[in-house]
Amino acid sequence: MDADVPMPADYSIDWYYAFGGPLGSCLFKSCHEDFLVDELLPFEPEGEGEHLFLLIEKKGENTDWVAGLLARHAGVRRQSVSYAGRKDRHGITRQWFCVSLPGLPDPDWTGLESDTIRIIRQARHRKKLKTGALKANDFCITLRNIDADPALVNARLDQISREGVPNYFGEQRFGHHGRNVEKAIDMMAGKFRVQRNKRSVYLSAARSWLFNRVLSEKVREGVWNKFLSGDALGFPDSNSLIFETPDDAMMRRLDNCELSPTSPLWGRGALKVTDQALAFEESVTSGYSQLCDGLERVGLLQERRVNRLVPQQFTWLWESSTEGSSLVLRFRLSKGCFATSVLRELFECYEEIHCRENNHVDQESGH
């Protein structure tokens, strides 16, 4: 199919809204300064070891491209440079990179920094930085040219701060027009082979799409944030699950957003739920046996992800200018969560980058 043709309806990336849909429109990422992200590790570098951790501020640069630049500058293989998660190219992000230097001194980074790359901090550590080794991400997002009733927006913001939003994987996970899902299906059917990194991207897209599909149906039925008989409850900031029937104390924690119902990240093995939750999830996934079977064949195991995303330390501030109203949002999200899943419950966001562009390829964001 043509790359500009949207995904077929069966694999749509349009998901149901929790609160009735966007309240209006806004301009998103009008410049890199409108999207600021700070990555938080769950530990502090120890100050010794064979791995050099670098906290780098990048502006309008692709994460993987920066990793390659570090490898060339340090004179090591690209595989010797790692990072915890990709971050949006269109923005200013501060994230950690790791250069493995067994028996080698710290490189001279003179000449590496530029208008778009700045080393903020460096420290040694005894263990390599692995993908997913994140605690959270802090966001500061400026939305401009807002066309919506401020009173309704404030009410919606307050609702989101109390109740959270559906924990959808963001559209960037699925590629242009959602094409990564179709590519995953063809790849799992043996129609073509890809490099290891691309294989991971396509499998992740397929698994994420199935999760979103189940969650979207739960949103449509109004049960995404409610306990269904036989469900597994999860904690917002960890992979721990509770399989027992909740007592009154647990139900209060569910109501207070300290716990959340979950939906499947597909893989081998039986769904980790029973009764009403099992019947609901099987009714949705039974129509996508091609995806389910493919994910099982490649060896992924059944896991769960919480349905609800509650922004932490959530604040907002309205600003006015001759160009119109703008809204500055600040919040913290646990690893693996997408800021766009918060924004979609507020506005239709239109991106328009006016900052300096380059030829680096965009990558998936936020983990």
Instruction: Encode pLDDT of 92-125 as tens digits.
Output: 999 999 999 999 999 999 899 999 999 999 999 9
Q: What is the pLDDT of residue 353?
A: 58
The pTM for the full model equals 0.89
Supply the mean pLDDT for the chain. Answer: 91
Instruction: Encode pLDDT of 261-282 as tens digits.
Output: 999 999 999 999 999 999 999 9
Q: Are strands 233-234 and 312-321 parallel, antiparallel or unpaired?
A: unpaired
User: Dihedral angle at the C-alpha atoms of 244, 133, 281, 255, nearest 10 degrees?
Assistant: 50
Distance CA 84, CA 63 (A): 10
Q: What angle do CA 32, 346, 236 make, to 5 degrees?
A: 85
Q: What angle do CA 68, 128, 339 make, to 5 degrees?
A: 70
Structural Rg of the chain based on CA atoms: 21
Distance CA 342, CA 63 (A): 23
pLDDT at 366 over 80: no
Catalytic-labelled residue, pool 88, 147, 237, 293: 88
Stronger pLDDT, 5 or 11, i.e. the higher one: 11
The domain spans of the chain are 9-22+165-309, 43-125
Instruction: Encode pLDDT of 277-290 as tens digits.
Output: 999 999 999 999 98
HSE-CB of 219 using CA atoms within 13 angstroms: 22
Is 34 one of the catalytic residues? Answer: no
Q: What is the pLDDT of residue 194?
A: 86
pLDDT at 332 over 90: yes
H or E element that contains 118: strand 117-125
Q: What is the pLDDT of residue 362?
A: 40
Instruction: Encode pLDDT of 51-86 as tens digits.
Output: 999 999 999 999 999 999 999 999 999 999 999 988
State whether CATH 3.30.360.10 applies to domain 9-22+165-309. Answer: no
* 43-125 CATH pick, 3.20.20.140, 3.60.15.10, 3.30.70.60, 3.30.2350.20: 3.30.2350.20
pLDDT at 185 over 80: yes
Across 141-145, 287-291, 304-308, 323-327, least confident range: 323-327
